[in-house]
Amino acid sequence: MLMPQRTSRHHGTGTIYRPAQPEHRAVSRHAVTSRLEDVAHSQTSQAPTASLRSATGGAHDVIAPHIASPSASGAPPAPPPPPPPPAEAEASPAVAAYKTELIEGPLAEFLATAKEIGGPVEHHSALLPPVLEAQLAYLALASQHAKPASSSLAPLLKPQADAIGAVMEAKDKLGRTKEGREFGTLFSVLGEGIGAWGWVQVEPAPAPYVGEMKNAAQFWVDRVVKTFKETKPAAVTWARAFVALVDALQKYVKQWHTTGVTWNPKGPAAPSSVPSGPTAPSAPVPPPPPPAAAPASGGGGGSGHAALLASLNQGGAITSGLKKVDSSQQTHKNPELRAAGVVPDKKAPPPVKPKPGQAAAAPAKKPAKLELEDGNKWLVEYQENNRDIVIDDTQLHQTVHIFGCVSSVIRITGKINAVSMVNCKKTSLVLESAVSSLSITSSPSFEAQITGTVPTVQIDTTDSGQLYLSTACMNSVEIITSKTSAINISVPTGTDGDFAERPVPEQMKSRVVDGKLVTEIVEHAG
């Protein structure tokens, strides 16, 4: 007879009986399993608990998940189930707009035109998507976090800087390859315009900065149109597609990030780095030239006989590779050469000694000067990397002469007679008003801004320059240029600080009409 044995565990209102295990009695597994199934059926309304091990082995594994541990037993309650994973934060409208208005639109069209050209242009264009993807990740991070300190922005901007650097590096590498030589202007379009994506570091007006980079690229786009308009129309379409992409970027920045990148002031602190995203692929490197063929051995074998027959078949041309020997190298005329056994090569001519004073040393660096001479002439000379030069004690009869300055900024307040800038490099000038004129000569990469009125601006023998006009002088200023290139005039278009850039014509067309020379500006469509 099977005697039940009461255990110390209670489940709900039922009791689990475990069969006694006498030493000399056999237990029917079928009976035990039936009893346990009845108990399990009575506990289906209870919550699941941890596994309960018993002597029934496999049968218990089947019903254990359906048996709940009673609270009266003193055992700790089962831990609550883990919370569901948090839903992924929705992209902000600015981030979504960046993806739809730039990546899915103009960028896709630009890549499609690059695919039509193929070759190195397609490879160079393929470096642009990583730039936009890195910037999209940065803007997504900014939309969810508070703005960090300026010193903490460098690691966050590094992915964008690396991607932009890859584009600029590829411009030089691809331009030196055999296939890329004819596309040098196309590489310059992308290399000059890629700087527009650096707007994330510009405050408080990044949109005009994007416009400046677009104008820098437009200079090369015009050359692409001129060079490939008839021979390769796909290149012209490619260049215009890139300008359209930069133009879309400027509109996006002006709408969503008017004063700089928009951060979330209520968000948590920004992390130390942007989550890893797609990296910019390295610029394709041209394959190395094929190895030079090894010279044929003159030793035995069939190759030696073949070389001998080939030489004999040259006929009289076989002596074309012989070197002419002058009388100083002939042994029958010079017995000392027979004794030496080696005929020296012809002596090289002695090096030409430089004339006295020809190799002049580098000129000594002259001291910087900022002073008022004779009460009517301001002298600003040899200033380098000085961006805090201010001339504010000005009078109507005074003039300002700027000479030999490099990477400096000069501000002139008040009304003055005239200003001249000569032999300066990368120098900026902010002028309020002048009675006579502003003259710029031999000063490449200059920038000049007029905040008041100036009747005449003269630019001579200067490559690359930017002139910003004020609203007050737009209808009265005259701009005279001579021997210049890449000069742009920025004209204000409204009260919000926007400028429209107008290039100064560089190409002229002259015709003889009725015995007179008529000159017109050459205009390019596009």
Q: How confident is the model at residue 79 (pLDDT cuts 50, 70, 90)?
A: low
**pTM of the predicted protein model:** 0.42
In this structure, which long-range contacts are made by residues 67-71, counting pairs with CB atoms below 8 Å and at least 24 apart in sequence?
67/11, 67/39, 67/40, 67/43, 68/11, 68/12, 68/43, 69/9, 69/11, 70/9, 70/10, 70/11, 70/12
| pLDDT(20) > 90 | no
CB 308 within 8 A of CB 300: no
For residues 102-128, give the mean pLDDT.
93
For residues 111-129, give the mean pLDDT.
93
- The pLDDT tens digits for 385-420 are 999 999 988 998 899 999 999 999 999 999 999 999
Bridge-based pairing of strands 14-19 and 4-11 is antiparallel
| pLDDT(487) > 70 | yes
- The pLDDT tens digits for 434-463 are 999 999 999 999 999 999 999 999 999 999
- Lowest average pLDDT, out of 17-26, 474-483, 499-508, goes to 17-26
Q: How confident is the model at residue 83 (pLDDT cuts 50, 70, 90)?
A: low
For residues 247-272, give the mean pLDDT.
91
CB 375 within 8 A of CB 397: no
Mean pLDDT computed over every residue of the chain: 77
Determine the Cα–Cα distance for residues 267 and 496; give it in Å rounded to an integer.
Answer: 30
400 CB neighbour count, 10 Å cutoff? 23
Determine the Cα–Cα distance for residues 250 and 213; give it in Å rounded to an integer.
Answer: 10
- Lowest average pLDDT, out of 48-62, 200-214, 406-420, 472-486, goes to 48-62
pLDDT value for 333? 66
| pLDDT(89) > 90 | no
Determine the Cα–Cα distance for residues 319 and 431; give it in Å rounded to an integer.
Answer: 76
My answer on whether omega of the bond before 335 falls inside 30° of 0, hence cis, is no
For residue 325, give every residue at least 6 positions away whose Cβ sits within 8 Å of its Cβ, in sequence order, or none: none
For residues 294-306, give the mean pLDDT.
46
Q: Give the pair of three-digit tokens for residue 179.
A: 């296939």
- Render 465-484 in DSSP notation, one character per residue: EEEE--STTTTT-EEEEEEE
pLDDT value for 347? 56
pLDDT value for 270? 85
pLDDT value for 452? 92
